Amino acid sequence: MAVKDSSRLRIGMIGAGGVAARHAQVLTGFPDARVVAIGDLDAARATALADTCGAKAYADPGKMLDDEKPDAVYICVPPFAHGLPELACVSRGIPFFVEKPLSVELAVAEQIEAAVRDAGLITATGYHWRYSDIVTEAAQILAEHCPRVVIGSWLDKVPPVPWWVQRDRSGGQVVEQLTHVLDLLRALVGEVQSVQASSSRAPRPEHPDSDIDDVTVATLQMVEGALGTLTASSLLRHKHRAGLEIIADGLALDLTETELRISTNTSPVTRFPGNDPKFDVDRAFVDAVSGRGDDVRAPYAEALQTHRLGLAIAESAATGRPVSLTPGRQPDPTQR
């Protein structure tokens, strides 16, 4: 499809790290979009990414928005840096895609959600697993089988970003990483009613600055009656597993980002994704902003529900008390 430059969606990016580079690569492959500007407080990072996609670099994201007036913005900052970038987009009426997790503090995400709702803005979030065709297939199977038990896990290494091991910067592993599994759980099995979690940590010489738990376990009660367990650990030197098992009467589904195993007897059937969800999540956002589609599967308000679940697990682990997620419940402000 040949598209005139002037009719291509002009995209700005705030944050120029690892995930921004991934989105920029996908977006520059779209014939109907182009990345025009990159804003990062670290000017060298902004320039390095801008150079890969013919964009202009800014060390001041607000100036980028004012000078470039992009049609849409990708917000790819670490968890602690949310708030100002989103509200800067809302006040200028610019639709945005924001990476998970939405924030460290619940109040920040709630303020953004209210502002987005008032402005009627198109938003999307980085919960790309929802676009995988094996997730769609799992949902179709579950429409015929009532889930009774769920087992979610994320057993991995510490990612190579400095902010990840600091609780006030990342929110910890459940909020930052397990959140993809929590979102999958909500998408496939429904809402969680209550959680009870425990966590622990031990000094790790290779991460002297770490103050996050390196093991968290939780039990869940789902609104529809299913029970569940979750386990997260960053103790490994490799990614061992990240996924969700769902058990119904006579059926076990084992879902990861790379495969779906369907077992009704001792000979499971394995399916592999036939699409690239990391491509499709960007395609859906660009189509929505361009008025050509309506397939944003996790807009901001939806992602906020997943974020509330992650924060509830973290709160329960911190207090040792069960946390209810029933509507209207006010979270414990001392644990935000």
Site residues (vs ligand NAD, CB under 6 A): 14-20, 39-42, 45, 61, 76-79, 81, 85, 99-101, 126, 128, 161, 176
Q: How far is CA 42 from the centre of its chain?
A: 23
Q: Which is nearer to ligand NAD, 25 or 229 (CB)?
A: 25
Instruction: State the nearest-atom distance from the C-beta of 126 to ligand NAD, in Å.
Output: 3
Q: How far is the CB of 42 from ligand NAD (least distance, A)?
A: 4
Nearer CB in complex with ligand NAD: 87/251: 87
Q: What is the dihedral of CA 302, 306, 307, 309, to 10 degrees?
A: 140
Q: How far is the CB of 6 from ligand NAD (least distance, A)?
A: 28
CA–CA–CA angle 265, 277, 228 (5° rounding)? 45
Residues forming a β-bridge with 247: 149, 252
What's the closest the beta carbon of residue 336 comes to ligand NAD, in angstroms?
A: 18
Pick between residue 19 and residue 90 the one whose CB is nearest to ligand NAD: 19
Q: How far is the CB of 82 from ligand NAD (least distance, A)?
A: 8
Separation of CA 183 from chain center: 8
Residue nearest to ligand NAD (CB): 17
Q: How far is the CB of 208 from ligand NAD (least distance, A)?
A: 19
C-alpha 277/C-alpha 281 separation (Å) is: 6
Q: Least separation, in Å, of the C-beta of 164 and ligand NAD? A: 8
Task: List CB contacts of 321: < 8 A, sequence separation 6 or more.
Answer: 196
- Minimum separation from the CB atom of position 13 to ligand NAD (A): 9
CB nearer ligand NAD, residue 60 or residue 332? 60
Angle between the N-to-C axes of helices 18-28 and 277-290, in degrees from 0 to 180, rounded to the nearest 10: 60
> Looking up tokens 């779906």, which residue turns up?
260
| C-beta of 41 vs 215, nearer to ligand NAD | 41
How many Cβ atoms are within 10 Å of 330's Cβ, its own excluded? 5
CB of 119 to ligand NAD, least distance (A): 20
Nearer to ligand NAD, 222 or 282 (CB): 282
Instruction: Give residues with Cβ within 8 angstroms of 215, minimum separation 6.
Output: 199, 200, 201, 231, 232, 233, 235
Could you give the count of Cα atoms lying within 13 Å of 268 in the half-sphere of its Cβ? 12
Parallel/antiparallel/unpaired status of strands 323-324 and 192-200: antiparallel
Rank residues 4 and 238 by Cβ distance to ligand NAD and give the closer one: 238
161-167 long-range Cβ contacts below 8 angstroms, 24+ apart? 161/17, 161/18, 161/78, 162/209, 163/78, 163/79, 163/80, 164/212, 165/207, 165/209, 165/210, 165/211, 165/212, 166/209, 166/210, 166/211, 166/212, 167/211, 167/212
Cβ proximity to ligand NAD: between 105 and 332 the closer is: 105
Pick 156 or 222: Cβ nearer ligand NAD: 156
